[in-house]
């Protein structure tokens, strides 16, 4: 492994040496109340001193106009700064200027604390900005100047940002592009008139105020326009009672729209209007009845045709549909169907107008990959990326060179399959170029013309390194910075360990991290706390270096704190992700339990008889569910703002994973339905102003627990939104685990 400091290797290796004796010979870690009070103090002290002790962890390049050099700022000990300039062509770096001389000339600032926010480094002078005022510095003197004008170099690359294929713009076109026609909506119907005339022709008669036509859009050549017969559905409301408003003696009721699973959507029936013969043609396509109206793309070389994208409700079918505006006929250019789910928010499409092609993403072969579609024939020309790895994102498309720049994970054998690496590939799937090599998580930033890029890579157990590369072939030109961790390790902090174990299938690797107390004694057995979030929309175990984490802070109280991505989460194979389908109560818990048991098998100081977990939102659902569905393993849980019943939570998220229509499986997996199964210790936290997950999701669990005569703790935070409880909630969480896993009374703060 390259560019890992010897200090990091020594500390990591020393911290995680396995103990060979059997776990039965280890006494449980059992502090006294006095010991634990000291632990709280030490944890708070570490929290206060650890911040700002890791230097040179990031490099933000400010490229100069020539695209051959850049400057950046290093943050060093005691909040001091230094400015560095890099010559990418020569592969050299040096101070951007003489800090002492400039500070002396300014006669206001310390050379180590210059508050410069921007620089322009020219041959004859230095230009810099302080507090939005620019100066020029030359021959030992500086002069105020106007803000310099800068230009952005032109590039053939098209930066990609994900966008919804639904058109949220509810306005209608009125004038045609050639300005010869005016279309309007009157009393819910479509009217048309020639520009400059008074008389309008009514084109529809079945519109009304309750079910109007609308959202008109003209074709670029003004031969047609599209409109919809709209059947509106009012979104139902949720309510919040805000109890503790300042300067008020009464609570306030807040109401907002909030769609829940099964609620109806406004639907759009598509029609084509032809100004030349005044004909109205109903498009031969189903109602667009999910998440608004579609975004239309008219074919550039023949605007008689347009396409739109349609994801069916239930998330099991996705189509790119072409419409012939001349007759209303349609055909499917892409028609993907699955028995589980299509992850709608990760659908990627990029339209190549010049060649009538589409770049489209799909998991049709079991992995998230890119395909090149012939938009005229409606066939797949080729699979662009292929193999047992996941395309994670698309950075840019070079339509002239027919190249895609993208990120992927899982391509590099022998390393964490979640690590993001960067690549370039041709549209036809040839000439795959890897831009990143090291076994780590990578983050790239490019020069404006993409001639060069900076690669910052790290892992939870590897400090950040930033290197400069040439984009043409990925060649490394120089190392820019390596994080300085001497003061960081002097605090006694431990780096997390990256740990893997087999999933429930006995084959798939499950990845996670382990945090241990800095005062860790390997001859004692420590309780385990899992930080859980099994929301299927992503994976959540950190993959980069963390200068501070709440997990490590919690570990300082005498716990081994872990975080794991079990089956049912994203960024692995389609089969790995499909475990969550109509199965959110699973939460990957069988994999997490096996992972913790494997950790204990390797390290006998891991006590699997004292295991707790905490989480927020979906993690709150998971944490409470662990006590309901796996009480034989989990003994204590802190559940904050949990979406405990997927019928109560937001529509778009829950139907994506639990499906539509709402069936009995929703109730079967609800923490409300299963509340009477509670064993172990449970703390529920909820904010009364949560507009992400309605507070009644938690209150219904409370109601069911009371009716089942169960013992539990509840913290309601007045005025709080969707949160883990804030500082007070986090304090109560620590006290809860200290009391219920360590058996120690927390410090008395009164």
Q: What are the structure tokens assigned to 372, written together? A: 């090149």
Give the CA distances from residue 224 to residues 269, 274, 747, in Å, rounded to whole numbers and listed in that order.
Answer: 17, 5, 74
Q: Could you tell me which of 736, 495, 708 has the C-alpha nearest to residue 613?
A: 736
pLDDT tens, 11-70?
444 444 444 444 457 899 999 999 999 999 999 999 999 988 999 999 999 999 999 999
**Which secondary-structure segment (H or E) carries 651?**
helix 651-658
Q: What are the structure tokens assigned to 129, written together? A: 């900005």
Owner of token pair 């009995």: 664
Alpha-helix residue ranges (DSSP H) falling in 32-165: 33-50, 99-106
Q: Could you tell me which of 409, 428, 429 has the C-alpha nearest to residue 418?
A: 409
The pLDDT value given to residue 5: 42
Question: SS3 helix, strand, coil % of the chain, rounded to 5?
Answer: 15, 35, 50
DSSP string, 2-20: -S--HHHHHHHHHHTPPP-
In whole angstroms, what is the distance from residue 381 CA to residue 358 CA? 10
Are the CB atoms for 638 and 683 separated by under 8 Å? yes
Q: Is the pLDDT of residue 321 over 60?
A: yes
Percentage, residues of the chain above pLDDT 70 = 94
Beta bridge partners of 70: 63, 86
In whole angstroms, what is the distance from residue 531 CA to residue 614 CA? 5
The CA-based diameter of the chain, rounded to the nearest angstrom, is: 96
The pTM of the full predicted model, rounded to 2 decimals, is 0.93
The pLDDT value given to residue 69: 97
User: Given pLDDT bands bounded at 50, 70 and 90, which one contains residue 139?
Assistant: confident
* Eight-class DSSP state of 49: H
Q: What are the structure tokens assigned to 173, written together? A: 């076109």
The pLDDT value given to residue 14: 40
Give the CA distances from residue 21 to residues 15, 388, 522, 605, in Å, rounded to whole numbers and listed in that order.
Answer: 17, 39, 11, 10
Cα 74 → chain centroid: 27
Q: Which residues, other chains included, contact 123 with Cβ-Cβ below 8 Å and sequence gap of 6+?
A: none
Q: Which residues of 210-239 are buried (b: 16+ CB within 10 A; e: fewer)?
A: eebbbbbbbbeebbbbbbbbbbeeeeeebe
Owner of token pair 């994970």: 409
Q: Are strands 390-398 and 379-383 parallel, antiparallel or unpaired?
A: unpaired
Are the CB atoms for 273 and 225 separated by under 8 Å? yes
Give the CA distances from residue 100 to residues 97, 106, 109, 182, in Å, rounded to whole numbers and listed in that order.
Answer: 9, 10, 10, 68
The pLDDT value given to residue 108: 86
pLDDT tens, 669-703?
999 999 999 999 999 999 999 999 999 999 999 99
Backbone angles phi, psi at 487, to 5 degrees: -70, -30
Q: Could you tell me which of 57, 54, 88, 56 has the C-alpha nearest to residue 71?
A: 88
User: Given pLDDT bands bounded at 50, 70 and 90, which one contains residue 350?
Assistant: very high
In whole angstroms, what is the distance from residue 132 CA to residue 151 CA? 19
**Which secondary-structure segment (H or E) carries 239?**
strand 237-242
Enumerate the domain spans of the chain. 34-52+491-741, 68-145
How many residues would you count in the chain?
A: 750
In whole angstroms, what is the distance from residue 463 CA to residue 5 CA? 8
What is the CATH code for 34-52+491-741?
Answer: 3.40.50.1820
Q: Cis (ω within 30 of 0) for the bond into 615?
A: no
**Which secondary-structure segment (H or E) carries 650?**
none
Q: What is the CA radius of gyration of the chain?
A: 30
pLDDT tens, 734-746?
999 999 999 999 9
Q: Is the pLDDT of residue 407 over 80?
A: yes
């Amino acid at each position: 492994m390259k560019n890992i400091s010897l200090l990091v290797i020594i500390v990591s290796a020393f911290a995680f040496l396995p103990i060979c004796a059997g776990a039965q010979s280890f006494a449980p870690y059992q502090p006294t109340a006095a010991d634990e009070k000291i632990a709280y103090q030490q944890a708070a002290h570490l929290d206060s001193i650890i911040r700002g002790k890791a230097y040179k962890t990031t490099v933000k390049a400010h490229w100069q106009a020539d695209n051959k050099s850049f400057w950046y700022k290093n943050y060093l000990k005691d909040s001091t700064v230094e400015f560095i300039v890099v010559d990418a062509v020569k592969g050299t770096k040096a101070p951007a200027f003489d800090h002492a001389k400039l500070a002396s000339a300014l006669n206001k600032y310390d050379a180590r604390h210059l508050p410069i926010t921007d620089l322009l480094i020219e041959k004859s002078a230095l230009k810099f900005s302080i507090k939005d005022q620019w100066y020029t510095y030359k021959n030992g003197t500086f002069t105020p100047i106007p803000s310099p004008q800068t230009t952005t170099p032109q590039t053939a690359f098209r930066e990609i940002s994900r966008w919804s294929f639904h058109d949220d713009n509810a306005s209608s076109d009125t004038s045609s592009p050639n300005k010869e026609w005016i279309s309007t909506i009157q009393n819910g119907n479509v009217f048309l008139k020639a520009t400059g005339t008074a008389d309008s022709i009514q084109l529809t008669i079945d519109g009304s105020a309750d079910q109007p036509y609308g959202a008109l859009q003209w074709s670029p050549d003004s031969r047609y326009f599209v409109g919809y017969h709209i059947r509106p559905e009012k979104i139902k409301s949720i309510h919040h009672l805000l109890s503790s408003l300042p300067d008020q003696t009464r609570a306030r009721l807040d109401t907002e729209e909030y769609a829940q699973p099964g609620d109806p959507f406004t639907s759009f029936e598509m029609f084509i209007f032809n100004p030349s013969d005044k004909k109205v043609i109903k498009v031969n396509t189903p109602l667009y009845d999910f998440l608004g109206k579609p975004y239309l793309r008219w074919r550039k070389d023949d605007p008689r045709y347009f396409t739109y994208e349609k994801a069916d409700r239930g998330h099991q079918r996705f189509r790119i549909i072409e419409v012939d505006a001349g007759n209303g006929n349609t055909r499917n250019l892409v028609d993907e169907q699955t028995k589980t789910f299509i992850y709608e928010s990760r659908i990627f499409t990029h339209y190549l107008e010049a060649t009538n092609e589409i770049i489209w993403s799909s998991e049709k072969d079991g992995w998230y990959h890119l395909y090149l579609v012939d938009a005229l024939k409606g066939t797949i020309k080729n699979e662009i990326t292929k193999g047992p790895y996941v395309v994670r994102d698309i950075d840019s498309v070079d339509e002239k060179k027919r190249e895609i720049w993208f990120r992927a994970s899982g391509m590099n054998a022998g390393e964490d399959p979640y690590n993001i690496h960067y690549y370039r590939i041709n549209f036809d799937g040839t000439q795959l170029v890897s831009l990143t090599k090291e076994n780590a998580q990578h983050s790239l930033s490019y020069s404006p013309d993409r001639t060069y890029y900076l690669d910052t890579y790290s892992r939870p157990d590897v400090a950040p390194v930033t290197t400069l590369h040439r984009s043409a072939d990925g060649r490394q030109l120089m190392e820019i910075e390596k994080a300085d961790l001497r003061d960081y390790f002097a605090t006694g902090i431990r780096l997390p360990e990256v740990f893997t174990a087999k999933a429930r299938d006995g084959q798939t690797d499950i990845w996670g991290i382990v945090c241990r107390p800095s005062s860790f004694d390997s001859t004692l057995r420590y309780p385990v706390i899992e930080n859980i979030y099994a929301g299927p929309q992503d994976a959540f175990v950190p993959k980069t270096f963390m200068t501070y984490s709440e997990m490590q802070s919690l570990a300082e109280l005498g716990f081994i704190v872990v975080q794991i991505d079990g089956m049912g989460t994203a960024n692995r194979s389609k089969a790995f992700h499909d475990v969550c389908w109509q199965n959110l109560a699973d939460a990957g818990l069988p994999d997490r339990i096996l992972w913790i048991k494997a950790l204990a098998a390797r390290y006998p100081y891991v006590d699997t008889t004292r295991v707790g977990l905490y989480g927020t939102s979906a993690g709150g659902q998971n944490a409470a569910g662990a006590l309901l569905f796996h009480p034989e393993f989990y003994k204590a849980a802190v559940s904050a703002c949990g979406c405990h019943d997927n019928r109560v939570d937001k529509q778009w998220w829950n139907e994506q994973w639990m499906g539509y229509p709402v069936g009995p499986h929703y109730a079967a997996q609800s923490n409300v339905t299963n509340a009477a199964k509670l064993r172990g210790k449970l703390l529920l936290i909820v904010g009364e102003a949560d507009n992400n997950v309605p507070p009644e999701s938690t209150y219904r669990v409370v109601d069911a627990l009371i009716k089942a005569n169960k013992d539990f703790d509840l913290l309601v935070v007045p005025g709080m939104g969707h949160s883990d409880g804030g500082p007070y909630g986090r304090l109560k969480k620590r006290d809860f685990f200290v009391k219920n896993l360590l058996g120690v009374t927390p410090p008395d703060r009164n």
